[in-house]
Amino acid sequence: MIAPALLMPDISVLPMESPQRIILAPMEGLTDPPMRRLLTDIGRYDWCVSEFIRVTDQLLPPHVIYGAVPELYHGGCTASQTPVHVQFLGHDAHVLADNAAQAAQLGAPAIDLNFGCPAKTVNRHRGGAVLLDEPEHIYNIVYAVRQSVPAHIPVSAKIRLGYLTDAPLLDNAHAVCQAGAQWLTIHARTKADAYRPPAYWDKILPVVQQLPNLTVIANGEIWTPQDAQTCMTASGCQDIMLGRGAVTRPDLVRRLRGQSALSWAALLRYQLAFLQIESKTDAGLIGRYKQWLGMLTAGYPEAQTLWQTAKKAQRLDELQQLLGAQLAFVGI
Ligand SMILES: Cc1cc2nc3c(=O)[nH]c(=O)nc-3n(C[C@H](O)[C@H](O)[C@H](O)COP(=O)(O)O)c2cc1C
């Protein structure tokens, strides 16, 4: 058998038409619609996944789905025409199926099911990662959703390696596959690992080997092109999902596709554009921008000075002025 490492392309120089898919991760409170729009403007993602929409015991009114995924008003895509898959989280297979069918009617390009959320409240109500100890239940949910959604709309699942240990990984992957999902994203950590590095990319490899017909997407701890390469080699996956790395280095996806990195000056212009997105209240946008700028300090040392001043700003116009001044300073 050929070692998986030998099959992996060097993605640091992947051409635009490469079959490899790069996906923007769902991140509740982070990759909201303005951030999805911005990040998909900066670099080409194959698709993004919405923040999770929690389903308990009823069919959600359409305005809730539209509120979480306003892209549905525009064909289910961001401004750059990147599809946004609608993610649901819950435990009741039938209610999830009804909600997924409704989202499909509203124009969802695909449905994703969240079995990775580590939040205590969610897990206490038998949603998210706690279901990883119940592969049969995962099968029932994915199957019910697959049956309820028209065949041309893909259904996928996102899991972690397991809840406390990675023991149920293969059972869960088989369950998702047998239930008819089109692909499976694996965040290469258990719920118990939370978000602590490392991500155990190599634990994904047996899934790829045992389920050759299922597309498996590797996720977790990809911050640089080198990480992406190592992840692909270790996991045997060609397709990857970028989470926090995509926010701290918004040009990561560009560099993975062999395009130029973004200078700090170019990123400043995107930050200014972000502050002009109208889909949020000023307070919401200010909060989200500050959160992002704080994260950018990890990827761009130049962000430090701006961050020190910007975190005290209370108004949108103050932030816009600060950014304008920075742009003038860097000579744009
Ligand atoms: C703030 C935050 C919110 C998240 N929200 C979701 C979510 O709504 N749905 C989901 O499936 N995963 C969610 N995740 C998990 C991410 O999609 C991803 O699996 C995880 O961050 C690992 O990737 P990374 O190491 O590249 O960040 C969230 C992660 C973070 C940090």
CA of 31 to the centre of ligand 1 (A): 9
CA of 288 to the centre of ligand 1 (A): 16
**pLDDT top residue among 324 and 279:** 324
Estimate the crossing angle of helix 264-274 against helix 33-42, to 10 degrees: 150
Ligand 1 contacts CB of residue 222 (under 6 A): yes
CA of 25 to the centre of ligand 1 (A): 6
Amino acid symbol at 139 = Y
Reply yes or no on whether 117 is catalytic. yes
Residue 83 has pLDDT above 70, yes or no: yes
Atom of ligand 1 lying closest to residue 30 CA = 1
What's the chain's average pLDDT? Answer: 92
Tell me, what's the pLDDT at 332? 57
Tell me, what's the pLDDT at 15? 45
Task: Name the architecture of domain 264-329.
Answer: Up-down Bundle (1.20)
Ligand 1 contacts CB of residue 185 (under 6 A): no
Q: Coil, strand, or helix at residue 86?
A: strand
DSSP for 188-252? EEETTTTT-S---GGGGHHHHHH-TTSEEEEES---SHHHHHHHHHHH--SEEEE-HHHHHSTTH
User: Nearest residue CA, atom 23 of ligand 1?
Assistant: 220
What is the arithmetic mean of pLDDT over 137-144? Answer: 98
What is the arithmetic mean of pLDDT over 115-137? Answer: 94
Ligand 1 contacts CB of residue 25 (under 6 A): yes
Residue 7 has pLDDT above 60, yes or no: no
Ligand 1 contacts CB of residue 114 (under 6 A): yes
What is the arithmetic mean of pLDDT over 50-63? Answer: 97
Q: pLDDT per residue over 240-267, tens digit each? A: 999 999 999 999 999 999 999 999 999 9
Q: Enumerate residues 6+ apart whose C-beta is below 8 A from 41.
A: 78, 79, 80, 270, 273
In eight-state DSSP terms, residue 280 is S
User: Nearest residue CA, atom 22 of ligand 1?
Assistant: 220
β-pairing verdict for 84-89 and 155-162:
unpaired
Atom of ligand 1 lying closest to residue 185 CA = 19
Q: pLDDT per residue over 15-56, tens digit each? A: 444 589 999 999 999 999 999 999 999 999 999 999 999 999
Model confidence, pTM = 0.93
Catalytic residue, chosen from 117, 177, 231, 237, is 117
Tell me, what's the pLDDT at 329? 86
Atom of ligand 1 lying closest to residue 241 CA = 26
Residue 269 has pLDDT above 60, yes or no: yes
Ligand 1 contacts CB of residue 34 (under 6 A): no
Residue 327 has pLDDT above 80, yes or no: yes
Sorted by where each begins, the domain ranges of the chain are 18-256, 264-329
| Domain 18-256, CATH class in plain words | alpha beta
Atom of ligand 1 lying closest to residue 114 CA = 11
Residue 139 has pLDDT above 70, yes or no: yes
